[in-house]
Amino acid sequence: MTAAVRYYASLMTRRQTVLAPVLIFLAVLGAVYASDAGPPLAAAAVPAATLVPIGAWLMWLCATSESRAFADVTLVVAGSSGRRLASRLLAVAGIGTALTAAACGWAVVANPHPYPAVVVLEITAMNLSAAAAGIGLGAVFAPPLRTTAGVAVLATTAFVVVSLIVGWMPPLGPLLHAFLAVRPPSGARAALAVGQAAAFGALLAALAHVLGRRAG
């Protein structure tokens, strides 16, 4: 499956439209850390929340990086729709990881607050799990499912907003509550929230797989 992941990563890097979500994320980082952004975890919450729609957007771009006919050929060569989806997810996860690294690095360099290793680890976990949730969310709206771009944008935006407002709704509600509302964050609670967000992404990806098989 490594070859298929590399193939999709290669397609992504050849799409100029991928620059749009990446630049928006970097702009968010720039805005958050333009001056003293405050305590590290509170400052990191905004980029982490942004990674949900950014991850969904990147997943959409990955799934639309080949025409339907070519996507069919990739499916046949990869062996199954599940393998093709997993390859796409992993390719986008690579970009999500790079954006997480950028978020951590930017925070450490630009924010005049101490960043002990445990805090960097917490920020990394928060960003990675948000990215995973976003990528899973994107998979539900991306081809082979027949969702229009407009519906996907509206649904993703609505989902992120509701998840921010409703404290118990994954991925963002529990994640932000665990890291921000409880000071200092409880390790067990934070780990649970991170696991919850990542599991949420995996669940959505599995849903996308089931629906995609039926849709063709």
Partner 1 sequence: MSGRPLRLQAVSWWFKRGRTVLNGIDLDVAPGECVVVRGANGSGKTTLARLAAGVLIARTGRAERARSMAYVPQASDDPPVRMRADRFLDALARMRGTRPSDDVVDALGLRPFVERPMNELSTGTVVKVLIAAAVTGSPQLLVCDEPFADLDAAGHDAVRDLVAAVRTRGGGVLLTDHGETSRALADRELVLRDGRLDG
Q: Which residues bind partner 1 (CB under 8 A)?
A: 3-4, 6-7, 10-11, 14-15, 65-70, 72-78, 80-81, 213-214, 216
Which residue, 78 or 193, has its beta carbon nearer to partner 1? 78
Q: Following CA atoms 138, 142, 147, 150 in sequence, which dihedral angle do they give, to the nearest 10 degrees?
A: 60
Which residue, 96 or 212, has its beta carbon nearer to partner 1? 212
Q: Nearest approach, Cβ of 126 to partner 1 (angstroms)?
A: 33
Which residue, 84 or 103, has its beta carbon nearer to partner 1? 84
Q: Nearest approach, Cβ of 17 to partner 1 (angstroms)?
A: 10
Cα–Cα distance for residue pair 77/194, rounded to 1 Å = 34
Overall size of the chain counted in residues: 216
Cα–Cα distance for residue pair 81/157, rounded to 1 Å = 27
Which residue, 88 or 134, has its beta carbon nearer to partner 1? 88
Which residue, 78 or 152, has its beta carbon nearer to partner 1? 78
Cα–Cα distance for residue pair 153/184, rounded to 1 Å = 35
Asked whether the bond before 21 is cis by omega within 30 degrees of 0, the reply is: no
- Tokens at 39, concatenated: 């305590």
Q: Nearest approach, Cβ of 57 to partner 1 (angstroms)?
A: 18
Q: Nearest approach, Cβ of 69 to partner 1 (angstroms)?
A: 4
Q: Nearest approach, Cβ of 15 to partner 1 (angstroms)?
A: 6
Specify the 3-state DSSP secondary structure of 167.
coil
